[in-house]
Structure 1
Amino acid sequence: MAKPAKTPASFESALGQLEDIIQAMESGDMPLETALTSYRQGSELVRFCQGKLADAEQQLKILENDELKPLDLPNGQ
């Protein structure tokens, strides 16, 4: 799982990579050095995802006239 860090293509891609890292680390079969590298990569992916979510939230605020409104789901779902 120790790959050079590169910018993911999308939020979904980053999330998938992060899930793969978590699954590999939870298996307990990873050597220490690989686990540390995977942890660093996972941290970068988390920061990338947080940035994408912050960008999306900012876009929603702009679309809602700087007022983030709760999501109204039909039938109270």
Structure 2
Amino acid sequence: MAKSAKAPASFESSLAQLEDIIQAMESGDMPLDAALASYKQGIELMKFCQAKLADAEQQLRVLENGELKPLDISHEQ
């Protein structure tokens, strides 16, 4: 199930991939090597999702204060 280490396309696709990984791992039928690779991929997807959520939260804070400022989201991995 391990896929290439390219950057996720979007928050939604990352979340869907995470759900697939969780479902596969919970089945208990995954070999150890595949489970470790899936776990590693899941951690990377989780970090991506957390960064996207943090960026959205910051954007909302700016909008709530009536200040429209461009956000620098260049810290993606």
TM-score band by shorter chain is: 0.7 to 0.9
RMSD: 1.1
Residue in structure 2 matched with residue 72 of structure 1 by the alignment: none
> TM-score, structure 2 length as denominator?
0.82
Identity among equivalent positions (%) equals 77
1:46 is aligned with what amino acid?
Answer: M
Residue in structure 2 matched with residue 2 of structure 1 by the alignment: 2
- How many correspondences in the alignment? 66
Q: Which runs of 4+ in 1 moved over 3 A?
A: none
2:28 is aligned with what amino acid?
Answer: G
> TM-score, structure 1 length as denominator?
0.82
Rounded to whole Å, the distance in 2 between the matches of 1:21 and 1:6 is 16
- Listed as ranges, the gaps of 5+ residues in structure 1 are 67-77
Rounded to whole Å, the distance in 1 between the matches of 2:6 and 2:22 is 18
Residue in structure 2 matched with residue 70 of structure 1 by the alignment: none
1:1-77 maps to which residues of 2 (within 5 A)?
1-65=1-65
Q: CA deviation at 1:2?
A: 1.4
